Structure 1
């Protein structure tokens, strides 16, 4: 009977975390105030010719005018540099530079961001992934949030665009894991670095603190550099906050099931601190525990468990701007995808074969 109590306790605990997130509604909100300080928008780009122009156009359409936008081309083998160069000729606020050769001991994106920060002149640094797009109001509302909360780092979790069934089976797992396990408000309210979350897709820094601490240099060899930076920020006595982008940042991370599995598998185990046993325990509680209960418990308890799962998926979907119908219907398939992701992630970790954008990532 012990397994019943453990599984139900974990299920109710995760439901309580989700309910807390749903009620506290951790989203970036709009402000009527207007700010004018220089913001440096910093974009690391490697082989992004299919996405980068959409991002540049969306930044150009921002209502915030005092910007400098720097794209660092990280040894692309496609037309990324040429596209950005042509765009910069239309708007003097934009420029593109070529990145330096990757030094030993650094991961590619971390070194690209480090170089970008060295070029930035703004009071605030906004790092954006090249496959994102931003909506009007993002920068002004972000500056307001930084000032209001006296923050040194604000990270936003983008709304995810999914166009294929394969993407719907994998991409929602990011918000599922986040909102089902972490009370997001505690990232700001608690000084404990265990309550750390961040998304490298959108990282907004106070420039003075960044120049002093050189955050990307501190995590130069970390795969999940965003969470590690948030831990560093909080551990150094600075203030950080993680919020849902609330429609101000969009991203289509992957195109299809295979690409999504490949992308998420490089981060999944690292998100569990490379603790294989911890990941296995989580999978047992989330997947095999409910299956065991479904086989051996009575109908009332089974319906109770299903109700909690459905309500959890409904709340997470509404918070993240995703389709509740698809996430509820596809929940069993998403859990199967989580198992596949975990197996691939552990295998890559044990064989040291994690790669991304043509580079090996030592995990």
Structure 2
């Protein structure tokens, strides 16, 4: 047992070193320091920005989202705000009209065609109506800080084309939110070499968050836009890959100081949302899902279990190695949580978080394998 624990500890410590390096390489939205971040030449100022918000049954979110956008400064850039009311049943469109001010147009979504998924179709309609040089796709549960659009425009002007995306600071309330939602940043910091998102043309090195997708209009057209990914369940990752395949730059930036969001509001929403996305996000490859879950379980759950067991049995040498591996895993989680501006104590939840992730992942695989599919906002997906 001690040899196994020593191996696990060694792997965890190597993972910790990678996480620390990787987190330090994440560029900050609005920063143009370093040629490797946004290009070697300064770009011209953005003349017009279209903020595009697809909204289906977002009555609880759309007013606050619009207010946060309207409160942003744009440093002289002309701003266009479009909201797509995607056949909502809760008065989303009326609320958007009442809170959008003179800069906001509320569009009525068309019926969902066969072969399309809902968000892709909503974003397509927004892009068709937009007149901006750059398009910023925002989810309705995003809350921008007043400096957010100025920072986004600075990055867009410096990069010149392509896509800029990032993970907003995740706000959580229920326990399943606290356990599972911060794992988005954890997986990125642990496994995706951040410099390769911008520095490599390989579409495997990509990450994106659909809540904040800033894309140049010509790059959007060149990569096929949402029409080219119409049937993709994880649309943000699919669009980012399409941008890379079109030869356009993709930047994953730290936007946590500029944008907050609460993706889910209870355990049921967390379960349904992650169940819909996890298996599809791994390309519906069962062997990859199994490998990732086994890797996480061995590195982050087994040390916690063996620590309890060896403490009860009095095997203090094994307990020492278990504690070392456990502390290393907590250090990795803290590194990722710090990048996502999560509370300090969240790192202590890592073993329980991995157990919850495993359960949701199994349900995600089962939903695809059984053809049962997934339900989200009144629509059925497979």
Q: TM-score, length-normalised on structure 2?
A: 0.88
Deviation at 1:5, TM superposition (A): 7.9
Runs of at least 5 residues in structure 1 that lack an aligned partner in the other structure? none
Query: Aligned equivalents of 1:199 and 1:292: distance in 2?
Result: 31
Contact conserved, 2:85 with 2:108, CA < 8 A, in 1? Answer: yes
Query: Aligned equivalents of 2:4 and 2:242: distance in 1?
Result: 37
Name 1:96's counterpart in structure 2. 106
Name 2:39's counterpart in structure 1. none
The secondary structure found in structure 2 opposite 1:169 is: helix
Runs of at least 5 residues in structure 2 that lack an aligned partner in the other structure? 34-41, 311-316
Contact conserved, 2:168 with 2:261, CA < 8 A, in 1? Answer: yes
Residues 224-263 of structure 1 mapped to structure 2, 5 A cutoff: 224-263=234-273
Q: Cα gap change, 1:85/1:10 in structure 2, threshold over 3 Å: closer, same or farther?
A: same
Asked whether 1:74 is paired with 2:86, we answer yes
Name 1:49's counterpart in structure 2. 59
Query: Aligned equivalents of 2:283 and 2:14: distance in 1?
Result: 21
Name 1:347's counterpart in structure 2. 366
* Worse overlay, 313-322 or 282-291: 282-291
Asked whether 1:330 is paired with 2:342, we answer no
Residues 196-275 of structure 1 mapped to structure 2, 5 A cutoff: 196-275=206-285
Deviation at 1:81, TM superposition (A): 0.8
Q: Cα gap change, 1:262/1:134 in structure 2, threshold over 3 Å: closer, same or farther?
A: same
Query: Aligned equivalents of 1:291 and 1:44: distance in 2?
Result: 39
Query: Aligned equivalents of 1:51 and 1:18: distance in 2?
Result: 34
The secondary structure found in structure 2 opposite 1:68 is: strand
Contact conserved, 1:30 with 1:137, CA < 8 A, in 2? Answer: no
The total of aligned residue pairs comes to: 359
Deviation at 1:150, TM superposition (A): 3.1
Name 1:359's counterpart in structure 2. 379
* Worse overlay, 335-344 or 115-124: 335-344
Name 2:20's counterpart in structure 1. 19
Contact conserved, 2:192 with 2:205, CA < 8 A, in 1? Answer: yes
The alignment yields a C-alpha RMSD, in angstroms, of: 2.3
Query: Aligned equivalents of 2:14 and 2:216: distance in 1?
Result: 35
* Worse overlay, 219-228 or 5-14: 5-14
Name 1:124's counterpart in structure 2. 134
Deviation at 1:165, TM superposition (A): 2.4
Q: Cα gap change, 1:332/1:266 in structure 2, threshold over 3 Å: closer, same or farther?
A: same
Contact conserved, 1:52 with 1:130, CA < 8 A, in 2? Answer: yes
Deviation at 1:292, TM superposition (A): 4.8
Q: TM-score, length-normalised on structure 1?
A: 0.92
Query: Aligned equivalents of 1:276 and 1:205: distance in 2?
Result: 32
Contact conserved, 2:275 with 2:363, CA < 8 A, in 1? Answer: yes
Name 1:184's counterpart in structure 2. 194
Question: Which deviations, in whole Å up to 9, do the C-alpha atoms of 1:267-316 show, x marking residues without a partner?
Answer: 11112111111111111121145555636882343232122112111211
Q: Cα gap change, 1:31/1:291 in structure 2, threshold over 3 Å: closer, same or farther?
A: closer
